[in-house]
Copies of this chain bind each other. A is one copy, B any other.
Amino acid sequence: MTGRDTGVCQATARVAGNAPAAAYRHLTLDAPGIAQLAQPGQFVALTVGGPTSALLLRRSFSIHRVDPAAGTVEIVVSDAGPGTAWITRLDDGESVDIVGPLGRGFTLPDAPGAAVLIGGGYGSAPMFWLANVLRENGFAIHHVLGAASADRLFGAELADPADELIVTTDDGSQGERGWVSDPLPGLLERTGAKAVYACGPMGMLRAVTEIATAHGARAEVAVEEAMACGIGVCMTCVLPVVGADGVTRMSRSCVDGPIFDATTVRWDAVAGGRVAVPADCLGAPR
């Protein structure tokens, strides 16, 4: 319905593929408008269950990759609750309402060098596309993929042979036993990488931020806050973020994110599945 003008499309997408991928489903959707516009790190939002559904809100998914020529958008979906259960069961040929691309994607450092891309669980979904773009721009890519167990790892086979690939699992069922953040200090020292990209749970992002900062690297993180609208109108998806002026604001992760410069996120406010308003935030209750 909308075109390049506004940078966003709403469309009824046909499901062109739904295949298993580790513990997840890898969906391919016909959405040419979105395929043409999207950049790595952006996401799409899908409705759930058709017109008689009791689930009103869209579900958000990182874009795994797009094929502008074929007009397809791919996502990797974990069956985590009733909404994703419905989406993972979509059959080829069925259709689903999709809005995208949404949010700000990853940004590219000015000067090439080594880049470390870290994905936890399905958080690795956007990383291979990002790797391609970085590689085309002269970066050397080092992937770190982690998950609780081997079945929750996504995409190890998608890494380019030219790239380094490190795999970790909490239970040691594949790769090194431990967290994705464990190999990070050594990797940053060894490669001298100054660009780090991470997508995964909050705890992981925070750890990555601390390690990257300690090594003088700049990290960009993809956050996953619960979103009612995904398009910037509801204010549910906020996170305290420090602006260029040094002031902390409750920023919408759907339009100001989901990719944030890691050091601007007020990790101190994040705890136990909740995010508090820091006392020094603009407009904090007195």
Seen from chain A, the residues whose Cβ lies within 8 Å of a Cβ on chain B are: 48-49, 51-55, 82-83, 86
Contact B51 A52, beta carbon cutoff 8 Å: no
A49 vs chain B, min Cβ distance (A): 5
Closest Cβ neighbor of A48 among chain B residues: B52
A93 to B242, CA, bound (A): 54
Say how far A55's CB is from chain B's closest CB, in angstroms.
5
12 additional A-B pairs beyond A52-B83, A53-B54, beta carbons within 8 Å, are A48-B52, A49-B49, A49-B52, A49-B53, A51-B82, A52-B53, A52-B54, A52-B55, A52-B82, A52-B86, A53-B53, A54-B54
- What residues on B are CB-neighbors of A48 within 8 Å? 52
- Give the docked Cα–Cα distance between A54 and B86 (Å): 14
A205 CB to nearest chain B CB (Å)? 30
Bound-complex Cα distance A121 to B62 (A): 50
Contacts of A54 in B (CB 8 A): 52-54
Closest 7 CB pairs of A and B: A54-B54, A52-B82, A49-B52, A52-B55, A52-B54, A52-B53, A53-B54
Minimum CB–CB distance for A87 against chain B, Å: 11
Minimum C-beta distance from A54 to chain B (A): 4
Bound-complex Cα distance A49 to B53 (A): 8
* Cβ–Cβ < 8 Å partners of A55 in chain B: 52
Most chain B CB within a 10 A radius of its CB, from A49, A55, A82, A86: A49
> Which residues does chain B contribute within 8 Å of A51, judged by CB atoms?
82
List the B residue with the shortest CB-CB distance to A81: B52
- Tell me, in angstroms, the Cα distance from A51 to B54 when the chains sit together: 9
Which B-chain residue is minimally distant from A91 (CB atoms)? B91
Can you report 7 A-B residue pairs in the complex whose CB atoms are below 8 A from each other?
A: A49-B52, A52-B53, A52-B54, A52-B55, A52-B82, A52-B83, A52-B86
Smallest CB separation, A79 vs chain B (Å)? 13
CB distance from A168 to the nearest CB of B (A): 35
A52→B52 CA distance, assembly (Å)? 9
